[in-house]
Chains A and B, each alone.
Chain A
Amino acid sequence: MLRSQIYQRHANQEGVNIIMRKSLVLVLTLIVALTLAACGKNNNNSDASASNSPAASGGASNGAALSGTITAAGSTALQPLVEQVANKFMSENSGVSITVAPGGSGGGLTQVAGGQVDIGNSDIFAEEKLKDEAKDLVDHQVGVVAIAAVANPKVNVDNLTKQQLVDIFSGKVTNWKDVGGIDAKIVIVNRPSSSGTRKTFENLALGGPSKDLPGSIQEDSSGTVKKLVAETPGAIGYLALSYLDDSVKALKFEGVEATSDNVATGQYPVWAYEHMYTKGEPNPTVKAFLDYMLSDAVQNGDVKDMGYIPMSAMKVARDVNGTVTNK
């Protein structure tokens, strides 16, 4: 009798275990489903929360500790800088969490205009990509990046004029010996036609859009472009100064070397602003982060160290239409 009771209890216990296991599976499924649903909702809500938060956290700026989350997305050229500065900012403000996602300048601009992220990183002015949505966006220029034509070190060319670059990128000149180098076929390593770096290079170095030539190579990241130019005999491409090292040779443009000083004084013309766009005026947390980005410590520290040019060093300014003026 006693024994059978024990068995009975044992059996019940097992039954309970099975039920628990089953309900665990159920609960997990529900969690997945709810997460999916929540994700869908989030996108709709963020617009509202972004517009609410300045009012809601208006009191926070009165000396109270910053808190909240900041999401930034966009340009891969700007991403390393933003990530590094974000990490520093987070260690100083423990209540803030910042996520920086890649996605290209176009993606960053779309997402900030749509309210999915707080900050859209871009190499180009929003007006160049967006139409009506650009009006809502506020531009925060956090640095300048110069772009240089780079070649495989073996081609033995130091300098190219604008015309020579145009000839090379339009396929008129196909051998390095025609521009003063060795006898080797020119291999163009391009970025996709929608890339911000390519747009900047085309507008300022070539003076207009270029075509994709048959046999040219296209890569979607600056890192790969550098690797290919370094490895492929006769290769030419273009890179942001922040990516340059000894494996590739930076070419002078019209006799001017691509250095921070030459860019700052306006002698070297192929450069672009790094923009961090917000939709409307930023909320206090985002504003604090952007102010931190523009602080002297960051501008003269991280910005310089990573190969960008600080805003304060620039002696010239450029507007949306490409007009350069002295400051």
Chain B
Amino acid sequence: MNPVKKDQAAGNRRLRFPKHIREEWYGRVYAYFCVTLLIVTIVSIVWFIASKGLNPFLSGAVSVPELLFGRTWSPESEPPLFGALPFLAGSISVSLLAAVLAAPFGFCAAVFMTQIAPKVGRRFLQPAIELLAGIPSVVYGFVGLSVIVPFLRNNFTGQGFGILAGTLVLSVMILPTITSIATDALSNLQAGLKEGSFALGATRWQTIYRLILPTTFPSLLTGVVLGISRAFGEALAVQMVIGNAPHVPRSLLESAATLTSIITLEMGNTVGGSLHNNVLWSLALILLIMTFLFVFTVRMLERRAGR
């Protein structure tokens, strides 16, 4: 750069910053401000839950194995017992079963929408499934309580409340998550792959079964994990249909409880700072850790899918 021009530029800068530079700074400050706010929020939430949730362990009132593997939850007895195994078992079984039930439906819907009948699929099926995602969870819970629970009660043994009712409600709730991620994965298929398969004489079924599903498998799994993660964190709908007895159920049709349902059930009735209240925060901490694990798993799967 020649020295005269450099001088001019310096003079300009001294007089006033050019417009595009100012805009750059406005944008940058604004973006940093938002990001900082976001990070502060996330860090403070984690800090808050962790500080409250670790309290029972640090004060020595409850040990970690006692909480994780104890089978008796009786917080108001003397001495209080905090065994969260029934809730862990309930949460894990409900969300896994819901995913097992919803995944085939989600995959089939995605295959139908992308491979078999893209026009009909995109126009009718996709909006219908996306609609499911927009229904508030309390509505799911209420439908479950008014339809699924009486149905199970009248056709099977038991009162209708339990893991099975929770599974049925949750599987409908996580169907949109699984379907939309599977649809994205299938429509982003590498160009030419499908055509190559057809050119080799494979039928459509063979192409889908042997080629498309294995290729997109990590992405499909991502959807399933996100679905499980949503099911794991769902509180209201599950709480309304699962029965909430703090015991490991002997069958799918017996009243059970999940981590989220016991938190919503008991949080309002406990006094802040009491051991009972703090143990509920420990359960929240377990939920948070599980969510981290799910996010981590999704990241790993995405890395594999990207390869």
Chain A residues with CB under 8 Å of chain B are 22, 25-26, 29, 33, 76, 102-107, 109-111, 114, 129-130, 187, 192-196, 209, 211-220, 224, 227, 231-232
Contact = CB atoms under 8 A, between A and B. Distances in A.
Contacts of A211: 74, 77
Contact of A220 (B160, B265, B270): B265
Given A129-B271, A220-B268, A232-B153, A212 B73 contact: yes
Interface string B5-42: 00000000000000000000010001001100100000
B271 A106 contact: yes
Chain B, interface size category, equals: 35 or more
Nearest to B251: A215
A193 B249 CA distance: 19
Nearest to A211: B74
Given A26-B30, A109-B271, A214 B250 contact: yes
B266 interface: yes
A212 B26 contact: no
A208 to B, nearest CB: 11
The 6 closest A-B pairs by CB, nearest first: A104-B268, A194-B269, A218-B244, A104-B269, A214-B247, A110-B272
Contact of A196 (B73, B239, B265, B269): B269
A310 B228 CA distance: 51
B104 interface: no
Contacts of B267: 104, 107
A106 B255 contact: no
A76 B267 CA distance: 13
B75 A110 contact: no
Given A187-B159, A211-B74, A232-B159, A195 B245 contact: no
Contacts of B73: 212
Given A114-B272, A193-B76, A219 B244 contact: yes
B76 A209 contact: yes
Interface in B126-154: 145, 150, 153
A215 to B, nearest CB: 5
B246 interface: yes
B53 interface: no
B264 interface: yes
A105 B269 contact: yes
B18 to A, nearest CB: 14
10 contacts: A29-B34, A104-B269, A110-B272, A192-B265, A194-B76, A195-B269, A215-B158, A218-B245, A220-B264, A224-B145
A47 to B, nearest CB: 15
B265 A217 contact: no
B78 to A, nearest CB: 8
B161 A217 contact: yes
B273 interface: yes
A231 B154 CA distance: 11
A59 to B, nearest CB: 35
B254 interface: yes
Contacts of B153: 232
Contact of A217 (B26, B37, B74, B159): B159
Q: Which of B240, B267, B271 has the most CB of A within 10 A?
A: B271
A21 B54 CA distance: 46
Given A187-B159, A231-B150, A216 B269 contact: no
A67 B204 CA distance: 75
Q: Which of B34, B150, B161 has the most CB of A within 10 A?
A: B161
B176 interface: no
Nearest to B269: A194
